[in-house]
Amino acid sequence: MERADAARNRQAILRATEELLASHEVSEVSMDRVAAAAGVAKGTVFHRFGNREGLMRALVESRVESLSSAMASGPPPLGPGAPPAARLAAFFDAVVELATRNVKVMAAFEQASTDRLNSPVYLAWHAHVSGLIAAASCGLDADLTAHLLLGSLHSDLMLHLLRTGETERLAAGLRSLVRTMLG
């Protein structure tokens, strides 16, 4: 169990990072600046998160907790009980919504990430997407197709569409792709 002071520091660091990302360019959000804004020593930030990538990963993970919960036990179509194609479309809608609300956080994670394919968020999303594709019994290579679909979320095009307010176009395109792919 995490000590109360450690939990407070963690929350202060994540909150400071988010506030800095809201008011500064991603490249201007250094570990020094985060530590100062959080009111903790720079060593505390490094001890807690390891490096900039670890800090950005923790921030992204804090943003996807409610999505993960909804995927596992929420109401259909995002949660169990809906057909695979409907769940997959709902998943991509939810990811686009999450990314829309957290564009700078997602961009910072993308920029800092050196091993995205092994991040806990990516691994969980890949398992979910590949499981839904396999459950649809559509003859696709579920593992590879899941990687291809998720890879489309990690692109300059997606960030461009989010930043220019074309989120509905992005969501509609992903829904169309899912419908076409899974019939």
| Chain segment 47-88, per-residue pLDDT in tens | 999 998 888 888 888 888 889 999 999 999 999 999 999 999
Residue written as token pair 């979320």: 153
Q: Which pTM value belongs to this model?
A: 0.79
At residue 109, does pLDDT exceed 80? Answer: no
| CA angle at 62 for the pair 116 and 128, rounded to the nearest 5° | 55
Write the DSSP assignment of 23-59 as a string of letters: HS-GGG--HHHHHHHHTS-HHHHHHHHSSHHHHHHHH
User: What pLDDT sits at residue 39?
Assistant: 95
- Pick from 129, 63, 72: nearest CA to 100: 63
